[in-house]
């Protein structure tokens, strides 16, 4: 037997995996609400190229990715400051941090790199150039294992 006035209310469901602040991270302001279009694209480009969009990291994996980004950028900064970054020196520096699955390549005026941090995967992609050292962590690709961007879709 129930008592009370109306039907039970539904609990709100989150729109995606919940994230938490990672060590050393400060809260960011909430995103501004931007109107989104509900009209589907007519050219199917996004649908046909979705296999090339990497997964975002969430929760503890996001924190792991942010920690690796900080560690790698800190290690590569002296190479950038000296202008002594080559695919070989960047690879040597990253493998010296304990990462064994590393690919480096000439990238314009800099050196690009791709690291498979673990088998989940947690991946890190970035570049060292005369201007900056950049890196971003992500969680692999749909329809593909590893951290290399797939060359063909499903």
pLDDT per position as a tens digit, 46-78 = 565 556 688 899 999 999 999 999 999 999 999
Number of helices and strands (H, E) in the chain?
A: 3, 4
Separation between Cα atoms, residue 130 and residue 127, nearest integer Å = 10
Separation between Cα atoms, residue 71 and residue 23, nearest integer Å = 13
Residue 127 three-state SS? strand
So what's the pLDDT on residue 67?
95
Q: 107: pLDDT confidence band, cut at 50, 70 and 90?
A: confident
Across the chain, what does the average pLDDT equal?
A: 81
Contact of 24 with 74, CB cutoff 8 Å: no
So what's the pLDDT on residue 120?
80
Give every CB contact of residue 6 below 8 A, 6+ residues apart in sequence. Answer: none
Residue with tokens 């593909």: 144
Dump pLDDT digits (tens) for 111-151.
999 999 987 889 999 999 999 999 999 999 887 788 988 87
So what's the pLDDT on residue 53?
80
């Amino acid at each position: 037997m129930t008592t009370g006035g109306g039907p039970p209310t539904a609990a709100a469901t989150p729109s995606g995996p919940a994230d938490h602040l990672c060590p050393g991270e400060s809260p960011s302001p909430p995103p501004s609400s931007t109107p989104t279009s509900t009209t589907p694209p007519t050219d199917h480009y996004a649908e046909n190229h979705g296999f090339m969009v990497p997964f975002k990291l969430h929760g503890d994996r996001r924190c792991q990715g942010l920690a690796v980004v900080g560690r790698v950028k800190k290690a590569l900064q002296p190479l950038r400051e000296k202008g002594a970054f080559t695919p070989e020196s960047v690879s040597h520096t990253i493998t010296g941090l304990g990462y064994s699955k590393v690919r480096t390549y000439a990238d314009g005026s800099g050196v690009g790199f791709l690291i498979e941090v673990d088998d989940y995967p947690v991946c890190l992609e970035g570049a060292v150039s005369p201007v900056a050292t950049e890196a971003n962590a992500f969680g692999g690709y749909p329809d593909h294992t590893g951290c290399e961007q797939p060359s063909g879709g499903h």
